Structure 1
Amino acid sequence: MNRTYLICLLTIMPFISCKNDKKTDYNDQSEEAVEKEISKSTDNTQTKDLENNNKKAFSWDNIPESTADIGAYPYITPPKGMTEDDDNSKSYEFDKLEMFDGNTFFIIEGKVRRMSIIMEGDKEWQQYLFDKSVSDYLKSIGAKLIFDGQIPNELTGKWGDDPNTVYKHMHEFYAGDVVNHPVSLYVLKTANKKIGFQVSSNSRTIGIVEKEDFTQTIEKVTADDILDEINNKGYATLHINFDTGKSRIKADSYDVIDEIAKMMKANTDLKISIEGHTDNVGDEISNMKLSKNRARSVLMALIDEDIDESRLKSEGFGQTNPIENNSTEEGRAKNRRVELRKI
């Protein structure tokens, strides 16, 4: 009996050994496959990282200098048979446009023109005429095409967390719809100019920016400045910021209030009339009321600075005395003012 059991055991042992060997081979193959997959994944990640690191920022040094006669700003006009839509074209003394060279985004600051192009008369829009005319002309003056196509959605999607934020970015930095349509982006460098062009064929727009350094033009208003203007002209013009449509003085304008108070304390015989003025946005009755309330707010702020109320009076004139044309934003901004008149 024991001999029979031993024979059977010796008979089946090779099969058990083979099975274990196969299992070991299988495990070895699986581990090798996993190691290869990990290695492949690591290589891919390293490759992507290398690609990202190799993305070079835009440099004007890499743009050839044009010696062509590029004419005067904005350096391009609509093709023959087309014209600018004055209602939708905008000019800015200092603004910005964003450019894309296929790798990175970069901003050019300076003088900006956003052209909206339409056909003359009631003619049908000529797409190919627009595209070829603009591209051929820009190339003829030495502009370099740095991107042509639709900016990838995965990149424009990074402009915001929702569609509204994305479109806000687009409208701030681009002359046309570059989220849904292709755009052609050019740069032009001459001996003393650096210029960017955005050509949005489907949007029928051309954006032009001439690079300029920003120059700060805001100067601190001092008590002496205010007094000198009053003595020379009989009144001083100040631009005090209020909440939109309201009479509450914004925090950034209390420095001006401090300077007015300083002037009044240094000149104890001086009496002034505080006069409010508005632009023509809104109805005339509301603007009259708003100007009176704003002038009164300045008066009360000076009283809070220990200026005797007997030396002050306030009045509002609404939109009746503009000093600039209300048809432009610049003109309207100048019309929204407070005048201190000597009495």
Structure 2
Amino acid sequence: MRKETLVACALAMALSGCGGPPASDVADPAADANGVVAASATEETEAEAGANAGDTAGDVEATTASANSVLDRDGNPVPLVAFDIDSVPVSSAALGELPFFSMPAGYGPQNRPHVRAYARFPFRIGEGLHWVEGASWNARITVDDDQGRDKEFSARELRRNLESVLAQAGAQPVFEGPLNRNAYYGAALEQEIGGGFIEGVNMDHDAPTSVHVIRQADRNIWVQLTTTSNEAGLVIVEERPFVATARWTDEFPYLSTPAGYDEGNRPKQRDFDMYPFWTGSDFEEVEGRTWAGQVSSRGRTHSMHEVRRNLEAMMAEVGGTLVFEGRIPKEPSERYDFDLKSPYSDGTGFSWHDYDSRVYRVDLPTGRQVWVHARLEYNSAGWVVVEREGFVQTAAMLPADALKRQLDADGRVAIQVNFATDEADILPESQPQIDQVLALLQADPALALSVEGHTDDTGTVQRNRSLSEARAAAVVAALTGRGIEASRLSAAGFGQDRPVADNATDEGKAKNRRVELVRKP
């Protein structure tokens, strides 16, 4: 049986003790015959309109796309309107958890409902849309699979059942009219709403739609129901203020993920590289330490809005500057090829023009500068972080005779072997140094060496130790592959346990990332 209830308890339990008056019995002086509240377009931005929903009321007025409107699929402005929540009587009905109500007998979500801990949705109000933020639930409602051919979908049956339940909960109707599907599929809303709430809004353009509001002492609950002849779309949002769960940290890459999210695949970090950041007119190529990773909502429904609000909160916390917001133009984004984009694809993908971006610059009190490019899509997100810094050369070839002199004097010598970031692959530019170690061993057949790997303190202790062991083993493999007997060599890794310089500086970190040759007795 596929039927899913909208709450864990049955309808009777969910509404036990409900004493709210039916919606039809309550006069709403701010509403017209359809329950539409007249409201004025404010000077708020879209995000502010969502965060401050219900603060003002007046007349709807919007003729062009601006902070007060969005463009629909045909390029026509759709006003963003305010709503006077005080016009809705307070309900004392006892409600459970989101989504609060069960479906009528024989009906249920066609697919698994989309549940988000924090999102925003533009509810139909008057001739426009009204942003509401909070915990959300949306699904497409059809006849249960286990009904077979014994039951046909009836929009009237479904709507009458849900409207009765809403009336018992003290809900007030605030809109009744067409869905206006095109409003949800304009450029500004297509990703976040058209994609993120597809089960609730991807219906016939003029499908009958109603919006109800339940106002309680500690929360407001918004319900939008859209019906056609064979299915329905249902969106429920429990309105609540935003509380950031991600924090700016003291360690690179500084950004953290919101509660319930993680970094997905293992993030990729490079000690030195270049990444281009779009500034609105051109790319600024920033060199330094780089990090790329996902913001993954494992086991839950991704919320583009939740990630965006947390990113904004972190930038506000550290005083970051918003350099660019929107979509990077296609032509300049294609200036960079696969080889540059590939290492950063977990963070920002390959088609930089095909999603909403945020680019920030953070000027830290220490004098360092950090750049962030965030990818925001309705079903995924990620970011690239670069801490600007100058190049520090870490490679220095020691010829075989110099290696021998230092081994004779100290019993050990550090060599500079460069590896792929966070990997044990020896880079081609280090081959001359391997050749000199080979010459040293060939010149003295009695010489036996322990090859020991070391790292700086970036990353976990366990990861650094295993990485240093793998890198030491890679050097041994390179030498035995050239004819040196394996019995003359051994590999060991000590991670960050044996620093030779201060890890607080880039120069110190560079010295600590090393391979040492130690004479064996």
CA distance in 1, matches of 2:368, 2:318: 13
- Deviation at 1:231? 4.2
Give 1:150-229 correspondences, 5 Å limit. Answer: 150-159=327-336, 166-172=337-343, 175-177=347-349, 178-191=352-365, 192-202=367-377, 203-222=380-399, 223-229=401-407
1:79 to 244, 254, 258: 258
Alignment pair present for 1:128 and 2:305: yes
- Deviation at 1:198? 1.0
Q: TM-score, normalised by structure 1?
A: 0.51
Give the structure with the larger strand fraction: 2
Contact 1:153 1:179 in 2 (8 A): yes
CA distance in 1, matches of 2:477, 2:318: 55
Give 1:290-329 correspondences, 5 Å limit. Answer: 291-294=479-482, 296=483, 314-316=484-486, 321-323=491-493
CA distance in 1, matches of 2:342, 2:287: 15
Give the structure with the larger helix fraction: 1
> Which residue does the alignment assign to 1:306?
none
By relative contact order (CA 8 Å, sep 6+), the higher-ranking structure is 1
Contact 2:326 2:357 in 1 (8 A): yes
Contact 1:275 1:316 in 2 (8 A): no
1:113 to 286, 291, 295: 291
CA distance in 1, matches of 2:387, 2:429: 34
CA distance in 2, matches of 1:148, 1:317: 60
- Deviation at 1:322? 3.7
Query: What is the letter of the counterpart of residue 358 of structure 2?
Result: S
CA distance in 2, matches of 1:272, 1:197: 54
Once structures 1 and 2 are overlaid, which stretch shifts more, 146-155 or 250-259?
250-259
CA distance in 2, matches of 1:179, 1:142: 27
Contact 2:362 2:369 in 1 (8 A): yes
Q: Deviations over 1:160-203 (max 9, x none)?
A: xxxxxx33332246631224323211112244121101111124
Gaps of 5+ in 1: 1-68, 160-165, 242-249, 297-313, 326-333
Q: Deviations over 1:324-343 (max 9, x none)?
A: 57xxxxxxxx99x8968578
State the secondary structure of the residue aligned to 1:83. coil
Contact 1:275 1:315 in 2 (8 A): no
CA distance in 2, matches of 1:142, 1:289: 49
CA distance in 1, matches of 2:402, 2:489: 29
- Deviation at 1:262? 9.1
> Which residue does the alignment assign to 1:42?
none
- Deviation at 1:134? 0.9
The alignment covers a number of residue pairs equal to: 227
Identity of aligned residues (%): 15
> Which residue does the alignment assign to 2:267?
89
CA distance in 2, matches of 1:342, 1:176: 48
CA distance in 2, matches of 1:83, 1:256: 39
CA distance in 2, matches of 1:114, 1:188: 17
> Which residue does the alignment assign to 1:232?
410
CA distance in 2, matches of 1:211, 1:239: 24
Change (3 A) 1:288 1:112: closer
Query: What is the letter of the counterpart of residue 77 of structure 1?
Result: S
- Deviation at 1:264? 9.4
- Deviation at 1:320? 6.8
Change (3 A) 1:83 1:320: same
Query: What is the letter of the counterpart of residue 266 of structure 2?
Result: N
State the secondary structure of the residue aligned to 1:102. coil
> Which residue does the alignment assign to 1:101?
279
Change (3 A) 1:172 1:322: same
CA distance in 2, matches of 1:109, 1:170: 15
Contact 1:226 1:263 in 2 (8 A): no
- Deviation at 1:97? 2.3
- Deviation at 1:100? 0.9
Q: Larger Rg: 1 or 2?
A: 1
> Which residue does the alignment assign to 1:29?
none
CA distance in 2, matches of 1:170, 1:183: 15
Q: TM-score, normalised by structure 2?
A: 0.36
- Deviation at 1:101? 0.6
State the secondary structure of the residue aligned to 1:227. helix
CA distance in 1, matches of 2:429, 2:299: 51
Change (3 A) 1:291 1:187: same
Contact 1:116 1:206 in 2 (8 A): yes
Contact 2:322 2:361 in 1 (8 A): yes
- Deviation at 1:111? 2.3
Contact 1:131 1:201 in 2 (8 A): yes
State the secondary structure of the residue aligned to 1:226. helix
Change (3 A) 1:271 1:289: closer
Contact 1:114 1:207 in 2 (8 A): yes
- Deviation at 1:224? 3.1
Change (3 A) 1:219 1:154: same
Change (3 A) 1:318 1:207: farther
Q: Deviations over 1:53-96 (max 9, x none)?
A: xxxxxxxxxxxxxxxx96513332112232333x3312333333
> Which residue does the alignment assign to 2:98?
none
